[in-house]
Amino acid sequence: MESMEIAEKLQNHFSEEVLDICDFHGQVGVVVKRERIVDILRWLRDSPEIKMDHLMDLCGVDNKKRQGKNLLRLEVVYNLYSIPLRHSIRIRAQVPENDAAIDTVTTLWCGAEWPERECFDLVGISFTGHPDMRRILLPDDWVGHPLRKEYPLKGREEWSGLEELKHKVVQLQEFGLSDGILRTKEGQTQTKGNEES
């Protein structure tokens, strides 16, 4: 089935929820409200003529500097694909800034657990009903969400955990263990291996 056809079916079925349909290079994206996102995705997954059984990608977007109607500050993008029927569609759920939360889809695809955690970590959208809503790539005590547009590319401060790490180096030096882990050079502490990776 053509992606546009699926989008129209979706609009008929959830006329209250669908805000906009956009087409770019043959890929169709449907902008929806966040309230019934789980129902929408369940319908797409379980309808026998659509059968979107593979959640290819889930990510969060900050729309602060983006032009477009019907856009709220944040957005969660679901790229879906149907392996038996070979068609795809993109769902873009709008999330407001003051209440950055959306229902989890781990009830439909349990593999969405980690992408949702990543989305929370980097964009700052929390997922209600998620089994384990923690940061995943950044340390637990990190401040801010790097993929928000106001977050600087290069910060002025060090990570708050660095002092603790330095203290640990001093402790380890007493046992002569510091060499393999951290190297102190000209008063600066660097994590070995940072540059190569």
Residue of 39, 49, 99, 132 that binds another protein (CB under 8 A): 132
Widest distance between CA atoms in the chain: 70
Stretch that binds another protein, among 2-10, 65-73, 94-102, 156-164 (CB under 8 A): 65-73
As a whole number of angstroms, the distance between CA 43 and CA 7 comes to 12
Q: Is there binding between residue 3 and another protein (CB under 8 A)?
A: no
Q: How many residues bind another protein (CB under 8 A)?
A: 45
Residue of 1, 22, 100, 165 that binds another protein (CB under 8 A): 22
Q: Is there binding between residue 44 and another protein (CB under 8 A)?
A: no
Q: Is there binding between residue 177 and another protein (CB under 8 A)?
A: no
For 89-127, give the DSSP string. EEEEEEE-STT-EEE--TTT-GGGHHHHHHHHHHH--EE
> Residues 59, 77: contact at Cβ < 8 Å?
yes
User: What's the min distance (Å) between Cβ of 62 and another protein?
Assistant: 8
Question: Cβ closer to another protein: 139 or 176?
Answer: 139
Question: Cβ closer to another protein: 40 or 115?
Answer: 115
76 by Cβ neighbours in 10 Å (0-12 / 13-18 / 19+) ranks as buried
